[in-house]
Chains A and B, each alone.
Chain A
């Protein structure tokens, strides 16, 4: 079946949605896949350098952005999915916005962030040449139940790579996954990581899940790209005999490790064409990450800094990367986080108070803070009222108010502050 009907239908729906003034959504992609189940195969897998699939618990969007920037700096045309649009329908929607009527995408390479669970299906459809896996952390226990299950999914994704698998050597589960893969795949396996001293110096390490089923722990594999120095948002990456000094999208060891992951993946894919200095140049041109250190403007009031509460690991690393105790703090969490039990694993001691707590699970947050002696000003479950109240507080010395919220509350807050919706969903 030709791909044209799927493209036409998807385009029409996309256009209709635009005309109605709604934001872009996954609906066009969903319909295109209904009309042509092999829509992704027929479009994306025709790209000359094939697909690089990026997955893991945390850092998918950031790393996909970095990798895209690095390939573009090397002069390649890149097709990628917008931040968090990592399910089949989201990727199909992204294809629809760029594909020609005969199903061709004008790109040399596709770099796709894929959801761990959907990755199993997607990797079958997309036949990635290269798979980059970032980490396995305690994440969405209500959905994944346990890290062993996520490891199984990522194993399937890694096994689908025809040319290269790139793995985090400092992640217990991925180190084991790499050992299991040896001999079972024709793809090359290579590693990125950070100097042990840097991991030891991070307040809560790299927060990867512990692999309890571990037998004897072998020595960590040799990494081809290593984070060797970290100073605020600047990091050094040792790439073979070269060193690339890079600027990260925000402070934090996890961003430096994402940069190492992107550099190693680019090195493996590009071979002789790879140039370390282009990594430096690419990362220097990147914007801050959506939902992490992003500053929202509020007219003539303070800027609003948003810190995402997604899972214990990313939440902790985001809190750890705060330079100082935030002056004014807003926290909100809602049904988008079905089971917030893990907030009891989070060390909130960087906060000395919270001004406003909101969301349908705001009272649970307030209880949590109470048990750590962190004073809470107001609990206002109604988000609109809570945001109004928070923004009405006096100006801060730093010119910055801090909001710590889950993804769903962040999207609502962005809208309340007059920011338009972005396509897709940022998974981190």
Chain B
């Protein structure tokens, strides 16, 4: 089979290397001896029905507004994909829009796609810096750059904040996980820095169609994972976490 990796709105919600998450999944699939295709959904296009992973990155409020109408148009189809067990990874702005609602700084309320169990309030204070999170998958490391307060209406946090801020000013919880649906503020991109999360998403996509994640067939995988481990260690040591 060929894994179909669908990135939503790469032009608008892909402002900060977000395409890297899709690249990482595609490349790792190849290193596992699998085939993968990178697909994109753009405003106005038909959403492909048959996909294995849905990814969405982040973008400024102007970009969120630019895709909003289209997102509501495809929201039902996205919820169907989620209900069918397709794993999702949504980062910052994309996570906000896939939630129930987003309140903008001017008070306007945007309806979300209703895929992730979160609601968002955007503030004026920008949260910028390294973020380190303890999760069930291990320690995740990234960079946060957002101004939201995220409230979970279901699911569980992706992890506990060890350094940085995460979902709200208490600085305790980061992101959201609801079964096979993941939302996070971690950039870097998150899957490049944290291959364990990338593999978890690949695994969920494969299990859905009755397959398992095979052994890797390319040493490049372990070489790159060692590099990512060193990259994470540098950031953890910097913050003594």
Contacts and interface: CB of A to CB of B under 8 A. Distances in A.
Interface string A205-225: 000001111000000000000
Nearest to B20: A344
A9 B228 CA distance: 50
Nearest to A371: B27
A338 B15 CA distance: 16
Given A367-B193, A370-B227, A344 B143 contact: no
A344 B20 CA distance: 5
A410 interface: no
A398 interface: no
Interface in B51-99: 59-63, 65-66
Contacts of A145: 60, 126, 145, 147
A367 B231 contact: yes
Interface size class of A (residues with CB under 8 A): 20 to 34
A345 interface: yes
A379 B20 contact: no
A147 interface: yes
B49 interface: no
Interface in B197-241: 220, 223-224, 227-228, 230-231, 234, 238
Interface stretch (B112-120, B169-177, B184-192): B184-192
A181 interface: no
Interface size class of B (residues with CB under 8 A): 35 or more
Interface-central residue, A138, A147, A364, by most chain B CB under 10 Å: A364
A141 B228 contact: no
Interface in B13-27: 14-20, 23-24, 27
Name the 5 nearest CB pairs between A and B, nearest first: A344-B20, A146-B60, A344-B17, A363-B231, A341-B17
Interface of A: 138, 141-142, 145-148, 210-213, 338-339, 341-345, 360-361, 363-364, 366-368, 370-373, 379, 381
Interface of B: 11-12, 14-20, 23-24, 27, 59-63, 65-66, 126, 128-129, 143, 145, 147, 187-189, 192-193, 220, 223-224, 227-228, 230-231, 234, 238
5 contacts: A138-B16, A341-B18, A341-B143, A344-B19, A367-B228
